[in-house]
Structure 1
Amino acid sequence: MNIRRIWLDRDPSGKQQWADFLVTAGLIPDEQLDYTIGIYDQEKLIGTGSIFRNILKCIAIDASYQNENLLSQIVQALRERLRDIGYQHYFLYTKPKTSRLFHSLGFTEITATTDLVFMEQGFPDFNDYLTELKKQQRKTKNNAAIVMNANPFTNGHLYLVTEAAKSVETVYLFVLSEERSLFDTKTRFELVKKGVSHLENVVVLPTREYMVSSATFPSYFLKDQAKASIAQVQAVLDATLFKEKIASALSISTRFVGEEPFSEVTEIYNQAMKKTFGSALKLVILPRKKSGEEVISASRVRALMDEKNYAAIKALVPPATFEVITKQKNK
């Protein structure tokens, strides 16, 4: 038996063998992968595992080799790869029936649905994140949450936050920490803070890797390229983690979102939240704010940036956002 890399982008026959192996194991071959390995008995693929960023995924072992300790070999090889490229903290998706195996390899469960168990290993971990949140917790009971990418922060975002702030004591405003946007995480976070600084009952917080991230909801960043069935499973996982662990930690009873006329994936997310929250959390879906006949959206602002139509942008964003955009123009 030997372990070797499978070059999915260079070896069509190796990729097909890998894809067939995953399907047989009851898994969906995932296209979002950076690195994949296989264990072979001569040329027969008997085990595989992959990495996307700091997430272990697509791990499967041939049922007839289950007692060969292949799972620990796969996981150890992937962990070594992650450490070599600088990660000390990593995540794992698995099915509920196999979660105990990964628990024995040192992984801790964060949350679970009927389809998935979401686990992690290393530090800083989810408990550290909860500690970070609780340091900024207000002593209020009627609390709401908003989660946004704000790429960039627009008057539409500001409208959503302002409306939420009118109806509750505290709004916890989570800004995505994921670095997969035109505007980097630090810039987006600062623009949101400046944009809502006049609202005294709004607390701006990072999501780290625990809300709408490559770990919890990778399909969100694929938008129109995402498969609806996969996005649905991930959306339920993300909503479950929020409901069971984050909302409860901050005494959040309501989540505000904007209606989604454009993105199928975001609409899937809204519907998944509605179903997952049930009676435990209230989901409020507000109509999007308009400028003229069109709704205000970050995607519209980015399109206008491509067109260099700064006069149109100025009407859609707060002053701090417009200042950053004009600075980018002059670079």
Structure 2
Amino acid sequence: MFELKRIWLDKDKKMFQQWAKLMERSGLSSKESTEYTVGVLNEGVLIASGSYEKNIIKCLAVDKEYQSENLLTQIMIHLMERMREKDETHYFLYTKPSEAKIFHSLGFHTIVENESVLFTEQGSPNIYDYQELLEEHKHEGVASSIVMNANPFTKGHQFLVEMASAKSDHVYVFVLSENRSEFSTEDRINMVKLGVSHLPNVTVLPSRDYMVSTATFPTYFLKEHAPLDVSKTQASVDAQLFKEKIAPILNIRSRFVGEEPFSPVTEVYNRSLQQVFGDELTLEIVPRKEVEGVAISATNVRKALKEKDGQLLAHLIPKTTYDYLKKIKKIEVELSGNY
């Protein structure tokens, strides 16, 4: 008789070892972060498992010997029931393309697919709702795009947008909706809008779940702690989604990114964008704006804010960012230097 039970991967070493071996046998990574994991055991031996993190179902695996036992469906139903209990009504799922039939039968719809990954979703708001939002903000002409976290918005970000604006009919700046940064999503969007308000051909939009999010690219937020092999797979899915589902709607033909001297994960992302875009989209890699030979970064801004270094902040952030942070965050440091 098979037993369905929760597995505590961070507390049960022996079970983690069984789980890691099951992942390896199934061609999946055991480095994925998980919030909740369930397993099917046969006399104490793990023969199937599935996990979720936030609203992302992942790490689904069934030992080859038991793949006729309908265990995957049982695991999926259990995981979705658990997620509904925490009021999640919109699910994402990474799996192998060979498993498409079973997940489509459970109500999941394909967002993108490549030779190694099938990325699907169920519930709403979904990719079609997001595409409708994009249609509402479409402008005439050939467009370019920028995706940024803006944590916070710096003179480097502003320089990148100004360069894209000068070269494009229209620029769409997507601000990450994922709320995993020091500054809230609302604050980051507001800072970007203020910082680009002098550019009439720029539209600022949210990224929702479809660009550099916990769903499409979770390791992005781990930065230097991210396993780069996992990051590469996720980055490729994110790039493919942008190329196939977002760029065509807004007539985006190019994407501007800053050169990345600091973060290995972001560098992996830039390389993945270049590879996935191929000849269909142009990736413009712009050297970082520098101050006294040092590239501007949001990390340096946050450090200067913490140390109340007004002289350095004057070099790193536009006055719009400073005024906004002073108003909303009640920053006490005064800027020194000229704008």
* TM-score, normalised relative to structure 1: 0.97
**Quick check: 1:28 aligned with 2:29?**
yes
**Which whole-Å CA distance do the structure 2 matches of 1:166 and 1:43 have between them?**
64
- Give the Å deviation of 1:308: 2.3
**Which whole-Å CA distance do the structure 2 matches of 1:319 and 1:302 have between them?**
15
Match of 1:178 in 2: 178
1:27-79 Cα shifts (integer Å, max 9, x gaps): 11134111101011221211100011110000001212112111111001110
Match of 1:114 in 2: 115
Match of 2:317 in 1: 317
- Give the Å deviation of 1:328: 4.1
Match of 2:255 in 1: 255
- Give the Å deviation of 1:226: 1.1
**Which whole-Å CA distance do the structure 2 matches of 1:310 and 1:151 have between them?**
18
SS of corresponding position for 1:261: coil
SS of corresponding position for 1:222: helix
**Quick check: 1:155 aligned with 2:155?**
yes
**Is the 2:31–2:227 contact (alpha carbons within 8 Å) kept by the matching residues of 1?**
no
Match of 1:13 in 2: 14
Amino acid at match of 1:57: K
- Give the Å deviation of 1:314: 2.5
**Is the 1:154–1:316 contact (alpha carbons within 8 Å) kept by the matching residues of 2?**
yes
**Which whole-Å CA distance do the structure 1 matches of 2:231 and 2:156 have between them?**
25
After TM superposition, list the pairs within 5 Å mapping 1:144-293 onto structure 2. Answer: 144-293=144-293
Match of 2:74 in 1: 73
> Which one of the candidate residues 322, 328, 331 is aligned to 1:329?
331
Amino acid at match of 1:105: L
1:163-214 Cα shifts (integer Å, max 9, x gaps): 1000111101100000110001110011101111111100100100000111
**Is the 1:173–1:202 contact (alpha carbons within 8 Å) kept by the matching residues of 2?**
yes
**Which whole-Å CA distance do the structure 2 matches of 1:181 and 1:44 have between them?**
40
SS of corresponding position for 1:211: coil
> What is the root-mean-square deviation of aligned Cα atoms in Å?
1.3
The percentage of aligned residue pairs carrying the same residue is: 48
**Which whole-Å CA distance do the structure 1 matches of 2:330 and 2:111 have between them?**
39
Displaced runs of 4+ in structure 1, greater than 3 A?
324-331
**Which whole-Å CA distance do the structure 1 matches of 2:311 and 2:86 have between them?**
44
Q: What runs of 5+ residues in structure 1 fail to find an aligned partner?
A: none
**Which whole-Å CA distance do the structure 1 matches of 2:313 and 2:50 have between them?**
45
**Is the 1:111–1:118 contact (alpha carbons within 8 Å) kept by the matching residues of 2?**
yes
**Which whole-Å CA distance do the structure 1 matches of 2:109 and 2:86 have between them?**
22
After TM superposition, list the pairs within 5 Å mapping 1:81-100 onto structure 2. Answer: 81-100=82-101
Relative to structure 1, the CA distance from residue 167 to residue 220 in structure 2 (aligned partners, 3 Å threshold; closer, same or farther) is same
Q: What runs of 5+ residues in structure 2 fail to find an aligned partner?
A: 334-339
**Is the 1:113–1:236 contact (alpha carbons within 8 Å) kept by the matching residues of 2?**
no
**Is the 2:172–2:203 contact (alpha carbons within 8 Å) kept by the matching residues of 1?**
yes
**Is the 1:154–1:297 contact (alpha carbons within 8 Å) kept by the matching residues of 2?**
yes
**Is the 2:111–2:119 contact (alpha carbons within 8 Å) kept by the matching residues of 1?**
yes
**Is the 2:143–2:170 contact (alpha carbons within 8 Å) kept by the matching residues of 1?**
yes
**Which whole-Å CA distance do the structure 2 matches of 1:206 and 1:187 have between them?**
12
- Give the Å deviation of 1:128: 0.4
**Is the 2:50–2:59 contact (alpha carbons within 8 Å) kept by the matching residues of 1?**
yes
**Is the 1:22–1:58 contact (alpha carbons within 8 Å) kept by the matching residues of 2?**
yes
- Give the Å deviation of 1:115: 1.5
